[in-house]
Amino acid sequence: MRSIQSIFVILMIAILVVTAGTLTTIHYIKTEIVLVDGIEQHLTDTTREAAGNVDSWLQLRMSELEGLANSPVLRSGDEKAINTYLLQENKRLPIYSAFWVSDPDGNWYSPVGSSGSIQERAYYKQVLTTKKTVISEPLIGKADGKMAVVVAVPVVKDGQLVAILGGNVKMDELMQLISSIKIGQSGFATLYQFDGTVLVDRDSKKNLQYNPLQEADSPLSGVVKKLQNAQSGIEEIVENGEAEYVSYAPLKNVNWAITATAFVHEFKNPLITIRLWSIISAIILVVLAALAVLFFTRRLIKPLKQLQVAAEKLSNGDCTTVIDIQEKNEIGKLAESFKIMMQNIQGLVGHIKQSALQVASSSEQLTSSVGQSAEAANQVTLVIAEVAKGADIQVKAVDTATLIVEKMSGNIQQAIDGAASVVHVTSKTSQAAETGNKALQSASDQMKNIEIAIEKVAEVVGKLGERSKEIGQIVSAISGIAGQTNLLALNAAIEAARAGDQGRGFAVVAEEVRKLAEQSEGSAKKIATLIGEIQSDTECAVISMDAGTHEVICGTEVVTSAGLTFKEIAELVKQAESEAHGISAVIGQVSVDSKNLVSDIESINHISGETSGQTQTVLASTEEQSAGMQEIASSSQALDQMAEELQHAVSKFKI
C-alpha cells in the first residue's frame, strides 16, 4: 500500500514534469518562431541592403560615364581631344579597363587606337532606342579573361544623339562586394541575371557558367523563376541534404537580382543551447519543487502518522495514547477532535465497565433472592403437601363416619321394624355413637390442624409476594441499567461512525454492547412478566387460602355440632336402656336426627373434598411458582453471563 506522502510526491512531480515539459516545449517553439522570424528578417534586410549596395555601385558607374558624356569635349566630336580626355579620365577612374566612343552607326574607337563595330550589341541598340544609359550583360574580357560589364551612355548635342560613350567596368570590385556579404558563419550572397545565369557566386566556377533553370531538380529553380518576375521574398529549400533559407530581391537599374543564403543549422544552433538550458532549468525546477513538496509532505504527514498510530492503538483498545500536535491548521483541528473523541471513549468505556459491574452485582443479588424464594416455595410445597395429605385423611374419616351413620340409620330402621331387638340395636348404636364421636373428634382435631397449616401457608405465600415485589424492583433496576447501556452503546456507535475507518473496530464493540444491553433488557422484561404472573398466582393462592380457611372453620363447626349430636345419641341410648317405653318415640326422633346427621356428614364430605381440591390447586400454584423461580434463576444466570461478556468486551479497552 502506497503512503499518502509517496502518492502526493509522485503526483506533484508528475504535474511539475508535465508543466515544466510543456513550458519548455512552448518556450522552445516560441523561441524557434522568434529566431526564424529574426533569421528571415535578417536575411531580407541583408538582401535588400546588398541589392542597394549593388544598385549604388552600378549607379555610381552610370553617373561617372554620364558626367563624362556631358563634357564639351565629347560633344565637340574632336577625336584627338576626346582620346586625350579619356586617357586622363581613365587614370582617374582605374575601375574602368577602357573607354571607347562610337558614332551613331556603331563604329567605335578607343584612345589606345583600337576600333571596331558594336552594331550587333544589344546595349547599342537599346541606347539608340531609349537614348538612356544602359548596362550590358557581364562579359569575359578577351585580353585579361576577367569579367566586366559595359556601361554605354548617349552623348547628346542639341537634342541629337551624336555619339555613344562606353566604359568597360571591371567586376572585381563588385565581386568583392558580393563576396564580403556574410550571413552567419557560412552564409553567402549570389548575383543572378533574370534569365537565371549566375553572375557572382562564392564558387567562382559558377560565374556565367551555371543556371539553375537548366537543372529540373535544382531546389533553386523555384527561386530563380520568381526572380524573373522581379519578385522579392524568402524561401526555405534543401540543397545537398542541408536546409537553407534563401532571400532574394531584384536590382533597380539592371535585370539582375541578388540572393542571400543562410544555413538553417547555423541559426538554429542557439536553439539547441536554449533547449539544453531549458531542459536543465526544468530539471532543476522539478528537483527544487520535489524537494519543497517532500519537505511539505513530511511536515504534513508527521502529525497524520501520529494520528494513525493513535487510531491503530485505539482500534486495539488502547485509549491512553498522548497526541502532541501543535499545528494551527485543519490537521490541528483534526487532532483536537481526535483527542476529544478518545476522552469521550475513555469516559464511555469507564461508564460501561461500572454499569457492567452493577449489572453483575444486581444479577448476583437477584440470584440470591431467587434462591431464597425458591427455598420458601419448596417449603410451601411441603406444607401444602401435608395439608393435602391431612385433607385426604379427613375425607377418609368422613367416609367412615358416613358408613357408620348409614349403619346407624339402618339399625334405627330395624328398631322401628322390630322392637324386640331394641336393646341389642341400642347397644350397637351406643358403640357406633362412641366410634362416631371419636371419628368426629379426630376430624375436628384434623380440621384444626388444617386451619393452622393453611394459616402457615398463607403467611408463606404473603412473604413470597413481598419477595416477588423485591425481585420486581431489582428487575426494574436491571431494565434501567440495560436501557442506559443501550443508549451509551448507541452514542459510542455514533462517535465511532464519526471517526470513520479508525473507529470501525470500536463500532463493532459498541454494536456488541448494544446487543447485550438489548438482550439484558429483554431478559429483565421477561423476568418482570414472570414475577407479575407469580404475584398474580400468589394473590390467587392467598384468596384460595382464605377461602379454605373459612371452609375449614365451617367444617370444624359442623364436626363440633356432629360431636354434640353423637353425645345426645349416647345419652338417648342410655336412656333407652332404662326407658323402653319411650323407645318408639325416641327411635323416631333418632331416625330424624340420623337423617340430619347423614346430610351433615355429606356436607362435611363435600367440604372436605373441596378443601382437598383447593390444597391441590395451591400445591400446583406453588409448583408453578417454583418453576417460575427456576426460570428467574436461569435468567439471572444468563444476565450474569451477559454482564461477564460485557466486562470482557470492555476489558479490551485501556483507559
Strand partners, 189: 260
Say how many CA atoms lie within 13 Å of 509 toward its Cβ: 25
Strand partners, 235: 246
Residues of the chain above pLDDT 70, percent: 76
CA–CA gap between residue 482 and residue 518 (Å, rounded): 7
CA–CA gap between residue 413 and residue 415 (Å, rounded): 5
Q: Given this model, what pLDDT does residue 170 score?
A: 92
Residue 259: CB atoms within 10 A of its CB come to 25
> Mean pLDDT, to the nearest integer, of 123-137?
93
**What does the pLDDT look like over 226-250, one tens digit per residue?**
888 888 888 888 888 888 889 999 9
Q: Given this model, what pLDDT does residue 538 score?
A: 67
Residues of the chain above pLDDT 90, percent: 21
| Residue 2 three-state SS | coil
Is residue 456 classed exposed, middle or buried when 0-12, 13-18 and 19+ CB atoms within 10 A define those classes?
middle
Residue 70 in this model has a pLDDT that exceeds 90: yes
Q: Given this model, what pLDDT does residue 161 score?
A: 93
Q: Given this model, what pLDDT does residue 635 score?
A: 73
Average pLDDT over all residues of the chain: 78
Q: Given this model, what pLDDT does residue 100 score?
A: 95
Q: For residues 229 and 133, which has the higher predicted lDDT (pLDDT)?
A: 133
Q: Given this model, what pLDDT does residue 118 score?
A: 93
CA–CA gap between residue 207 and residue 204 (Å, rounded): 5
Whose cell is 333418632? That residue is 590
Q: For residues 409 and 156, which has the higher predicted lDDT (pLDDT)?
A: 156
Q: Given this model, what pLDDT does residue 539 score?
A: 76
| Residue 103 three-state SS | coil
**What does the pLDDT look like over 279-300, one tens digit per residue?**
888 889 888 888 888 787 777 7
**What does the pLDDT look like over 371-401, one tens digit per residue?**
776 676 677 567 667 756 765 776 676 577 5
Q: Given this model, what pLDDT does residue 65 score?
A: 95
Residue 183 in this model has a pLDDT that exceeds 80: yes
Say how many CA atoms lie within 13 Å of 417 toward its Cβ: 7
**Helices 330-417 and 504-578: crossing angle, nearest 10°?**
10
CA geometry: angle 151, 157, 162, nearest 5 deg: 60
| Residue 399 three-state SS | helix
CA–CA gap between residue 591 and residue 584 (Å, rounded): 10
For the record, the C-alpha cell of 517 comes out as 444491553
Does the pTM surpass 0.75? The reply is no
Domains plus CATH for the chain?
Answer: 42-263 (3.30.450.20), 335-650 (1.10.287.950)
Band of residue 110 on the pLDDT scale cut at 50, 70, 90: very high
Cβ atoms of 556 and 448 closer than 8 Å? yes
**What does the pLDDT look like over 394-421, one tens digit per residue?**
667 657 756 765 776 676 677 567 656 6
Q: Given this model, what pLDDT does residue 264 score?
A: 82
Nearest CA among 471, 476, 569, 562 for reference residue 521: 476
Band of residue 474 on the pLDDT scale cut at 50, 70, 90: confident
Residue 369 in this model has a pLDDT that exceeds 80: no
Highest mean predicted confidence (pLDDT) among 30-34, 414-418, 549-553, 613-617: 30-34
The least confident of 160-169, 174-183, 339-348 is 339-348
CA geometry: angle 141, 142, 143, nearest 5 deg: 95
Phi, psi at 554, each rounded to 5°: -65, -45
Which helix (H) or strand (E) segment is 150 a member of? strand 147-157
Residue 62 in this model has a pLDDT that exceeds 90: yes
Cβ atoms of 178 and 203 closer than 8 Å? no
**What does the pLDDT look like over 419-456, one tens digit per residue?**
566 557 667 766 765 776 676 677 667 767 767 866 77
Band of residue 610 on the pLDDT scale cut at 50, 70, 90: confident
